[in-house]
Structure 1
């Protein structure tokens, strides 16, 4: 009988010790923290290039986005601007810029996004290849000597053509559908 009480006490003590260890790990190590990086000012211009070649230019005039001087679809333009303005950094993957090729961040492969406000450059973002997970990608911010893992597939957000963003002229069928 005494042996059963001893086992129970040892078992309950072990559970209590494991619980204390678990609580300490949570409080000291915490959960994986996502660092969100914002620009300081409102973006009014975005230039996107790849391999030195121009992909597209977005400019805000009179509260409307223009892509190559054509009206842009507001939701597509806002998606691009918001993706440059708010970047969720999951982790730092390298402090060595000799790893650029590994992460698709060389001049030939990276998508370069320059966001400005009033002619002043707010952010230069280099977007590399997607990670193995697919919903993450490798990025470099401004002239930092770090390579980050960012949330989202940003390359597909920025590698768009002017025709994909340009506002489509409304046809008679689409106007009738909106009226209904």
Structure 2
């Protein structure tokens, strides 16, 4: 039996305390906002480099990286351990931006690749809207930004896309989106 223990997570550090991360060590990491809400959980073979990349906006979290104010980490010995701990932490702690790896016990099914891609597209749009909070973005603008970032564009009114939008309080008015 596998025993997973998140009690071994580091203490919470401010983002200016990156020196607290051991160099050349893999593991999982947790990123929080100013109000201590858990935003994102990830895994990596190099904690220091990956967390630094997130904090600099050089990852897929570019749409919300400025929200990151604190981090915690848990060093692990292997990629398998990292994946197990990451999935367990995501499904136990339910971070705000890790929608794809959450397994719903009520709906025990596997998502199709297309559903996953639609969710990723929708989360990209949500990230754009959060970065531009207070500003509405039209369909054409969003399509252009997606195209420029090699993000496949799906129907904005697709059921999967709409669920992500609803969960993130995306509003649509006069051909424009906002949060």
The normalised TM-score by structure 2 is 0.21
Between the two structures, name the one with larger relative contact order (CA 8 Å, sep ≥ 6).
1
The normalised TM-score by structure 1 is 0.21
| Structure number, greater radius of gyration | 1
Q: Which has the higher helix share?
A: 2
